[in-house]
Structure 1
Amino acid sequence: MGLSGVFDDRSLRTKIGAAAMTATVSGLIVGAVAISTVYDLNDHAAAVQRQSIAVQSAVGSFGRNIEAYVGGVSAVQLYPAIAKDIQAGMAVNQKAVETALADLKSALPGDAVVAKSEEDWAAFLDQLAVDVRGASPAELAKALDDYNTLHTALSDDQEALKEQTTAVVEARIVEAETSGRHAAYLVAGLLLVGMVLSLLIGFQVAGRVRETVRSVGRIAEGLAEGDLTRTSGVRSQDEIGRMAASLDQGMARLRDDIVHLAGSVGTLQDSAGRLSSVSGSVSAAATEASSQAGTVALAADAVSSNLQIVSAGSQEMGSAIRDISVSTSEATEVAAQAVRVAAETNAIVARLGSSSEEIFTVVKVITSIAEQTNLLALNATIEAARAGEVGKGFAVVAGEVKDLAQETAKATEDISQRVQAIQADTSGAVIAIGEISEIIERINGLQLTIASAVEEQTATTQEMNRTLTEAANGAGDIAATIGSVSSAARRTTETVGETRSAADDLSATAAQLQTVVSRFRY
């Protein structure tokens, strides 16, 4: 996709702004690079200057403190009285030399001259640490020769460090000049690229806009000439492209409308003729509808009257059913009460049977006592007979007791028979009461069924009354509606004449539209 394709769907503001933004951004980039380069060059020059000063200072400190340290060595020999003070100064000089070497190693890392200077200084300190007291003249001569050699080497190291410092500074200056030239080339290149991009985008945007405007202009010229077959052919999505697309859609819609209008004009003319013909038929039909509506209105009034009579009868039937419902409810309550009374009676009779059993038990006890009394009376009579005259009175009493025991036995036998009869009657009464309870319960169930049916009939009657009332009202509404239909039919008859006149006007309008459509080429 070319550069023009990138901007086809962008807005005009974006396209125009792209060229301006490209120039602006390129200017900002060039300015930023130039400013950054200036700052880098300044920083580089400052760093070179700081490094040069630091190296020169370290080299100077290295030489001065070595000479001071060597002078201290001689002074200790010459002025032993102040040897401690001199040695303290020598320690300071030694520390300063070591600091200078550390600064040189930091400023010139890996430099051979600095490394050699550090080795020579260490060897010089080792040489001074050798104790030559008691040494032979040859050993003293050798020690002095080594001392002079190391001292000369340190002096040479100072000169070498100075030369190295000069070389480093010159190298940094050359490096700064090279960086400046590269920065100038970079700024010029960026400026050239920005100018080319700005011009390229500007020409591309102008060309695309001009081409799009010409395409839209051709459609406008065709529309002025009545030619609806032209299209813009523009596919971009910017403001002009969207305008061209909308214009194409509008032309297509207008072309379709003209085609449809051309087809509809003939149809409209035919329809106007048929409308005029149909108007007469509608007028006759409306007159007939008005007549039939009057007949239907009379029939609807009769239906409404009959429905009102039926509704009144249904309401009376509903009142009778409500009375039946009340009576059925009372009968249900009476049946339920009868069931409760029968249950209570059955319980009482059951208790009566239990009491009869208890009486029968007591009678058995009395019978047993009477039999024993009879036996005692018989024994007493026998004993009285044995006693003779003395026992005659006792025999009389024993006979009376015997008679009383026999009468008691007879009475208890009669009571037993009566109690047994009561028990038999009680059992029959219990069975009869149970049957009565079952019958009453069945009656109660039937009463509940009747009550439920009466309630359903009541609801049905109420629904029937409501339906009949609505039907009567609906019949009245039908009569009123039929009246409205009759009035509408009369108004329709009056409107048909106006419709026929409108049909004539419509035919004239169709002819005018046909003339307008013939002017377009589609």
Structure 2
Amino acid sequence: MRTSPSPSGAGRLADRPATHKVLASVGVASLTALVVGGLALGDLQDLREARDAELSTALPYKNALHGIGLTAKATANDERGYLLTGDPEFLTEIEERLDKVDGYLADARSSADTADEAAFVDRLGTEIGAWSASLQAEFDVYATDRGAAVALAFDQTRGLRKTYEESLDAGLEAADAALLEGADYAETVTVAIWRTAIVCAVGVLLALGLGLAVARGLTRSLGRLRVAADRLAHGDLTVTVGLHQHDEIGRTAASLDAAVADLRAVMSTVVGAADAVAASSEELSASSAQISASAEETSAQSGVVAGAADEVSRNVQTV
């Protein structure tokens, strides 16, 4: 029994073998898992690169700030040593250390990752420059008035040193916070999370949609097949499944429809033969009745003949 294929998408899906339908659902779910896994690996690589990029700028910047703090503190120690002893070697060390501070400031400025960090380095350089100028003023006064130099050290120079130290501490805290926060890193993480979530949602929806379509198609087809089988079991030979699909269920339904059609033809032949037998039986009954009537008539005529014979016999005896 041939059935015409359905042109719709649902019909094309219904025509696919059941194995293909199940494998398609599983394949969509598997493909989703593979895509999510691939995206996750790619995102992990992006995260590592983003973190490396941040560290490549954040660490040099932070190290430069630490270098400024340590070198400036050593310079302050040399300042006290010179004020106490007047040893010119301290002046040489102070000059060398201030050159190092300038170098660290240049490193911090070149590795600053944001405009705020660059502005901070400029401000810190200005404050350290003011402190350095005050040191030079101390040393100039020291040659003529040691007491005035010491007073300048404990007043103006000390205040300027505390100013840049407070700024430096604030800058280090901000650098630590930026390093821990990782703005680019956090943005990469956010993008990765959203992308993975969207791919998962789309994949799950596709898998669920295809799975539901397959399940509903199988359930509907099997339901029609079951109803037809129940009607056939109750003697209804007019039933047809009528599934126009070419999968296993559709072919089974077509075979059942063909079997029912053949059974109807056989039953029609049997009914025709039964009708012929019934007609022959009626004719035979009529013939039997006619024969019986003829026998009765013959018997009656035999009785008349016998009576006549008796009458003749009596007449002969009388004569």
TM-score by length of 1: 0.33
Higher radius of gyration, 1 or 2 = 1
Q: Greater relative contact order (Cα 8 A, min sep 6): structure 1 or 2?
A: 2
TM-score by length of 2: 0.49
